Amino acid sequence: MNAVDEEYSPPDDDARYVETVNRALRDGDSSGRHLRETLARDELTGLARVPNSIRGAIWNFLLLSTKGNRELFGSISDEQFRESANESFGIMEEVMRDQLEVDAKRTRPSLKRFRGQESKNDLVRILAAFCEKENLRYVQGINEIVAMFMLLQDLGHSPKIVCELLSSFLHDFASWDLESSDESDTSSLAFHKLKYCFRSFRILLQYHDSELFNRLESMGLEPNMYATSWFVTLFARNFSVEATFALWDNVIVGNDRSDFFFFATALLVSRRELLMQVNDAHLPEEILNLRAETKGEVSALWAWGMKLKQNTPNSFVDMLSSPLTMCGLQDVPDKDPVLMTVNVDDIFGDPNKQFLIWDCRTMREFESGRIARAAHLELDGLRFGSREDAVKDLESVIAKNEPLRISGTHVCLVGSGIPAEDAFDVIPAATCLTKNGFRYISFLKGGFPEALTKSPEQVTDLSHAKLEAGISLRKRQEERSLYARERGVPDGVIALVNRTDSEVTDMVDKAKGTIERFGSEIRSALANQIAQRNRKKGEEELQDDEETG
């Protein structure tokens, strides 16, 4: 909902600090490295401190000078810009002209800066000129981004510079706003890039907090329901001016377009307690009202997001950072499972993350060549068996992973690499884990053959002849068990916390293999979890007593 939009009166900058930064701006190298190094860091969060009085100059330098981003308008004066923008406006279709004028009145209207007619006219001009130059149709929300640049005090209110900054900023950090659209073709209304971002965002949230992810999704709260304005306006529509400036300082100085995704994930995860507990009927309200008002809140969330980033597979971070992945996208099929995929570099080449690798192929295949570190996950019931067999397998998957639930271990499932086969073992097993609230679950893109080609040194006990025999045996088994294909994949099974004592004992017995294999960290994680379960049980009993008494 519309929060009260407070006038932002920034605190005075330290004059000496401003002078130092100014010097870096003047003398700095064109890569912006010197300026980035000169900016002081916040003690708690390590974030850059951008002085308010020269924010415009700093953003301008980092967005335009350092990147060789083309200038849309060359060196024309503001008057020339206004003239040419008026022409751009004049040739727009009427309905779009109306839209711009309506939205100019509704852009941070309570702030002094936007009360006068001349700033509204400038806003309209900037949007019209921008759309013409970029060959775009105006998308609502870009007005909010323009407003932030118009609020920069030290740019002399130059509409031309604002327009250049807007273009550069969107290309660098919100390329989903730059999708051209031909309205005669309804499929091109489709916000392809934005949908793709939402999908990546779902995967990210699921990876870091599958319980929260499951709750939101089960309530129909996918990112298009709550995060549209987050992405389209980079939070300008949701946050106060102070908070938006702080966020964009970090985005621009940090210069990594993936950071925004982690910030947005942090915003959700940091409020998980509220979001998990609030009544179903209020959940949409709570999630749509998530916001930050102060610089301090933004810094804390940013730091949280950077921790999430460190705990995200590198290939996924690279994908989010890369500009290429944001271009020329097709729609991702809705039925594709939401699941983190990793590559061999993620699981073998990252010293900062511990990956537990489950080989999900048949035992025969596993014994004829396997990743040395991998453990075998028995899924024959899921692949070839009856519905009951399949459920048993999934229960055993849960049991074997239970010790990892609250440890920081990343879990990667490896299959045969053939999508039609993965759909019946790796994917359901991984999905079962995420549905049951396990985090850090991924599967290896390309499966075992990928490991064999890309990282043969990680593979042991390899016998090509035996492997071929194993694969062909599997094919024969698959043919015989068409039933398994028809019955589909059963839904998830019940998690430990909701089981009876004897079931827990049984599951712990089953999990012993995992425990022995992966040592003391997991043993203590399991002990913690059982303690937690007992605590919860105790509380419930207490509650029952109180209520009956």
- Concatenate the DSSP letters of all residues of 309-367 into one string: HHTS-HHHHHHHH-SGGGSSPPPPPTTS---EEE-HHHHHS-TT--EEEEE-S-HHHHH
Q: Which is nearer to another protein, 185 or 457 (CB)?
A: 185
Q: Which is nearer to another protein, 21 or 441 (CB)?
A: 441
User: Which of 325, 285, 327, 68 minimizes the C-alpha distance to 180?
Assistant: 327
The residue assigned the tokens 């999430």 is 308
Q: Which is nearer to another protein, 169 or 191 (CB)?
A: 191
Distance CA 72, CA 88 (A): 14
Q: Between the CA of residue 74 and those of 112, 125, 374, 399, what are the distances in Å?
A: 30, 17, 58, 64
Task: Pull the structure tokens for residue 285.
Answer: 């309200």
**Least Å distance between CB 214 and another protein?**
7
Distance CA 407, CA 492 (A): 21
Can you give the binding site for another protein, defined by CB under 8 A?
A: 1-2, 5, 95, 98-99, 102-103, 106-110, 137, 139-141, 143-144, 181, 183, 189-191, 194-195, 214, 217-220, 222, 224-229, 232-233, 237, 277-282, 284-285, 288, 435-437, 491-495, 497-498, 540, 543-544, 547
The residue assigned the tokens 């290939």 is 315
Residue 88 exposure: Cα atoms within 13 Å on the Cβ side: 24
**Least Å distance between CB 57 and another protein?**
28
**Least Å distance between CB 274 and another protein?**
10
Contact 459, 451 (CB under 8 A): yes
User: Which of 315, 269, 256 minimizes the C-alpha distance to 454?
Assistant: 315
Distance CA 430, CA 410 (A): 12
Q: Which is nearer to another protein, 516 or 544 (CB)?
A: 544
Residue 34 identity: H
**Least Å distance between CB 533 and another protein?**
12
User: Which of 259, 255, 253, 240 minimizes the C-alpha distance to 302?
Assistant: 259
Q: Which is nearer to another protein, 104 or 467 (CB)?
A: 104
Q: Which is nearer to another protein, 224 or 505 (CB)?
A: 224
**Least Å distance between CB 150 and another protein?**
15
User: Which of 301, 299, 305, 272 minimizes the C-alpha distance to 286?
Assistant: 272
**Least Å distance between CB 316 and another protein?**
23
**Least Å distance between CB 149 and another protein?**
17
**Least Å distance between CB 116 and another protein?**
14
Q: Which is nearer to another protein, 139 or 375 (CB)?
A: 139
Q: Which is nearer to another protein, 308 or 493 (CB)?
A: 493
Task: Pull the structure tokens for residue 13.
Answer: 């900058």
